Each structure stands twice: as C-alpha cells, then as structure tokens.
Amino acid sequence: MKEIGHWINGKHVAGTSGRFADVYNPATGEVQAKVALATKAELDAAVAAAAEAQKAWGATNPQKRARVMMELVRLINRDMDKMAEALSSEHGKTFPDAKGDIQRGLEVIEFCIGAPQMLKGEFTDSAGPGIDMYSMRQPLGVVAGITPFNFPAMIPLWKMGPALSSGNAMILKPSERDPSVPLMLAELCQEAGLPDGVLQVINGDKESVDAILDSEIIQAVGFVGSTPIAQYIYERAAATGKRAQCFGGAKNHMIIMPDADMDQAADALVGAGFGAAGERCMAISVAVPVGDETADRLIEKLVPRIEKLKVGPYTAGNDVDYGPVVTAAAAERIKGLIGSGVDQGATLVCDGRNFSLQGYENGFFVGPTLFDNVTRDMEIYKQEIFGPVLSTVRAKTYEEALSYAMDHEYGNGTAIFTRDGDTARDFANRINIGMVGINVPIPVPLAYHTFGGWKKSGFGDLNQHGPDGFRFYTRTKTITSRWPSGIKEGSAFNFKAMD
Ligand code: NAD
C-alpha cells in the first residue's frame, strides 16, 4: 500500500504518528494509499524550521521571489496532465475539470508574479517641514493554509501564491482526502527555486489543525472548508491573536426571471448544478424560477438535459460529465438527504439514488437528482448537500425570489438569469451575497479580483487572492521620518498636526 507522508525542509518525510487516513479512488471505491496524520510534535518541528527559513526568504528582494513564481507557472504548465491525473484519481472529478482546478490556481500564481507591485508601499514627500512619511508591507513570518478536498490544486495555490511571494513561510495543511497534488506542488516550488523549509506541507486531521491554531509562531491562518469548521478555526485562531480568514459552505441560488432565455438558463443550471458532482462551493444548488409558468417551462427544459447526463469515472475521458463523490459516507449522506426531501413533501422529478455503473459498482456515484416544489423548512433547502442534487423553489414574484437568497444563512455565490438590465442592476445592488453572476451561473472572480462569500460563507474581513491576498499575508508599517536637521525646537509635548 502506497504511504503518503509530509514535505518538510525540501524532502518527503514519512509520518511518525502511526495514524493514517485512507485515500480512495472514488470511482472504484478502492483504497489506493494511506496518508500519514501528523502529531502536534511533528507540526511544531516543521513550524520551527519554517521560521528559520523565513528569515532569509523574507529578506530576499521581491523581484527575486516573483521570479520563483514565474518559474512555478512554467513548471505547473509542464506537469499539468500528470497533476490532473493524480487529482482525478483521488478526487473523482473528470480530467478536464481537474485541469480547470489546476488552471484557476495557476492564474493566481501568474498574478503573484506582480508581487513587487503589490508590496510597494506609499510615500508622502514633505508631509511636514522636513518630514517624509511612508508605509511598507512586510511579511507576517510563518503563516498557514488549511484547505478542503474539493479543489486540491486551486485552493492550496490561492494560499501559497500571495503568502510565499510576500516573503512568508507557509505551513500548508491540505485535505487528507486527496493529498497528492499539494505534495507535487511543493516539489515544483523547490524546482522553481523556493528555498527549503519555506513551504512545509503537513498532512493531518484535527490534531495538526489544532496545533496550527495554538502555535505561538504562526501569525495567520487562511482556511477554506465547511462552515462549522470555518467558524471553529476563526474563533480558536482569534483566541491566540492570529489573523484568520475562513471561508465556509454555500447554498447558491439562481433566480430565473420570466424573460430569461430558458434554454440558456437550463444549460447553465445543469452545468452549475451537476458539474464536479455538485462538489463546488460555487455550485448552484437552488433554482428559483419566478412564476409558475416560468417554473413549468424550466422543469420541462431541465429534465431531458438531466436524463442525458453521463456519469462515470475520469478514465472515460470526455465522455463523462461528472464523476463520483468523494467518499462512501458522502454518497450515503446525499442519498439520505434526498430521502428526507421526499419525506418532507418535495416533488422528486429525477432520482439519482439507485444509479449504478457496470464495472464500477463499488464507486461512490450518485445520479443526478432534481426536486421541484421545495420549501424553506425542508432539510434539502436548509443544508448544503454538496452533491448532484438541484432543488427548485417556486417564487411568485421577483421580491420573493430575492428573499430566498437573502434570507438563507449562506452567502457565497448567486446568479440571476434575465434579459432586463434594470432587474439585473437591482439584484446586484441589493443582494447580500459576495459573488454575483448576471446570466453567468458560476461567477468565480478571476485572479486579479478577489474571492469571498458573505454571511456564514466567510468569516474574517479580507477575501482570497487579488489585492486582498497580499493584504492578508502582509502587515503595514508606517514610518514618519525627519532628515537631516533633527528637532531644533526641543521636545514637543502637544500631539502635533502637520503644519
Ligand atoms: P472540511 O471542513 O471537512 O475540511 C476542510 C479542512 O479542515 C481539511 O483540511 C480538514 O482536514 C480540516 N478539518 C476537518 N474537520 C476538522 C476538525 N474537526 N477540526 C479541525 N480541522 C478539521 O471541508 P471539506 O469537506 O474538505 O470541503 C468541502 C466544504 O468546503 C464545503 O462545505 C464547501 O462549500 C467548502 N468550500 C468552500 C469554499 C469557499 O471558498 N467558500 C471553497 C471550497 C470549498
């Protein structure tokens, strides 16, 4: 059995805890590797080494650090297929979707080539007589990234890019479900010229996460995962005075106005609802057609599209629309929630519970599932299902449709499909959700903008990547200097305004 360890001080290191988690091939249901789960002692030792390595890295000029990012871009492109293969085999997503996962991370590394520009401070010449004032952005020291299973390349790269190019050392604690790609990225960082010890990849579970949260050395934690863990990390990190940005779960609504192009809306919903088996934090899981006539037309368009979806292993190449979910437990939970929807009175239009694929009977597959007449009180509406299940909630008016998205506890992404610019503008202005699509179902901002949800989808006050990524992983120092004359008038006792 293949054993996956950690990446510490530029080397693969076996775990010492004796504790392991199974890494599955979700398409076959087989355990393909065991990943070591680090102890607090292993974590603490890696942090101490990172703190040493950070001193020289933090003092390296930003342009040289940016060149490491530049080389990393080339190397990730070189190894794209190899990484996508490893990603698909552990996660289950299709091969093109795995490449998309890497690509959207790579774009943040491309953005980080501009680190010198992002780190440039501000300067005011002659803020007072003989006085200059300037600010600089400095690295925090050792920072951490704790990442989820569903984007094992993209989200680690969203953390690594700004943190490393700003001069920090980083402890990356990836998901124990699909640990191989983060380790491959660490190897590429070394090949790109990142000094050993500056990036430590520690595999683990709650024990290593708690050790990160309690570390006196680690200064900031960037987390992405489910909401209960995001909130836990936010609170515990804050208790030890760390910066924390913690992104959580989602329940993304798409509003379909009567004037929308219904074919376009149905295509968008099928892709955004079922792509990656619904295991995306930006997946659309709730369709909100406005008016019964719109709802009827939408369902009529959705059903044949859903019936045509091809579900299978990533090895089937382009013939597959989506793959298995990540674990047997996830599949069981999703099927249980579908059952609860039926019990609570929703109309089950397409039922994916009995899906089975010849030759892959033990794979963690769930067929595409569509509900109609879902209401606010149902578990399938309240919970993030994180599977290939689309719920339809019928709204009588635009205001009612808006209220569904506004009142839900999650606020990651949302979309509206309409041909009316006034409705679209009103929606964009009033909605209390972080990322909004207008005739775009999955509005994931590009690398030079920032990514973050509101309400229970995001704790902390800065977004991921773009300029906020640099703000999060650096702190500002502001210097007021007087050269060369010194203080001629003697001591000043009043708190002076600049003349
Ligand atoms: P998860 O919360 O189970 O795990 C995320 C990370 O936390 C992993 O590294 C895991 O090892 C660690 N962890 C798990 N349980 C822990 C515990 N009890 N104590 C400390 N650490 C713990 O999430 P997941 O299942 O890997 O990922 C799916 C979730 O992530 C979904 O809810 C999805 O919406 C969310 N997500 C959000 C975004 C976003 O940007 N908002 C992006 C991707 C995924």
Query: What pLDDT digit, counting tens, does each position of 325-372 carry?
Result: 999 999 999 999 999 999 999 999 999 999 999 999 999 999 999 999
> From atom 21 of ligand 1, which residue's Cα is the shortest distance away?
206
The CATH number of 2-248+457-479 is which of 3.10.180.10, 3.40.605.10, 2.40.50.100, 3.40.50.300? 3.40.605.10
The whole-angstrom separation of Cα 163 and Cα 160 is: 5
8-state DSSP, 487 = -
The verdict on the CB of residue 175 being under 6 Å from ligand 1 is: yes
Three-state SS for 139? Answer: strand
Question: What are the structural domain ranges in the chain?
Answer: 2-248+457-479, 252-438
From 16-25, 124-133, 186-195, the region with the lowest mean pLDDT: 124-133
Determine whether domain 252-438 maps to CATH 3.40.50.150: no
Helix locations, 129-196, DSSP H: 154-165, 180-192
The verdict on the CB of residue 225 being under 6 Å from ligand 1 is: yes
Residue 350 is among the residues annotated as catalytic for this protein = no
Helices 154-165 and 62-78: crossing angle, nearest 10°?
160
What is the end-to-end Cα distance of the chain in Å, rounded? 73
Is 484 a residue whose pLDDT tops 80? Answer: no
pLDDT at 494: 78
- Other CB atoms within a 10 A radius of the CB of residue 59 amount to 9
From 226, 227, 280, 409, give the residue whose CB has the most ligand 1 atoms within 8 Å, as the site to mutate: 226
The verdict on the CB of residue 417 being under 6 Å from ligand 1 is: no
Banded model confidence at residue 319, pLDDT cuts 50, 70, 90: confident
The whole-angstrom separation of Cα 228 and Cα 234 is: 10
Asked, colleague to colleague, whether 2-248+457-479 and 252-438 share their fold, the answer is no
The verdict on the CB of residue 279 being under 6 Å from ligand 1 is: no
The whole-angstrom separation of Cα 81 and Cα 435 is: 30
Beta strands 30-36 and 20-25 are antiparallel
* Residues listed for the chain: 499
The whole-angstrom separation of Cα 97 and Cα 404 is: 30
The verdict on the CB of residue 94 being under 6 Å from ligand 1 is: no
The whole-angstrom separation of Cα 468 and Cα 458 is: 14
Pick the atom of ligand 1 nearest to 464's CA: 40
Q: What are the tokens at 384? A: 């993030």
Phi, psi at 12, each rounded to 5°: -75, 130
Q: What are the tokens at 291? A: 């008016």
pLDDT at 486: 55
Residue 417's identity, in one-letter code, is F
Is 490 a residue whose pLDDT tops 90? Answer: no
pLDDT at 270: 98
Pick the atom of ligand 1 nearest to 174's CA: 9
The verdict on the CB of residue 176 being under 6 Å from ligand 1 is: yes
The whole-angstrom separation of Cα 51 and Cα 470 is: 19
Banded model confidence at residue 487, pLDDT cuts 50, 70, 90: low
Residue-averaged pLDDT of the chain: 96
Of 112, 189, 246, 281, the active-site residue reads 281
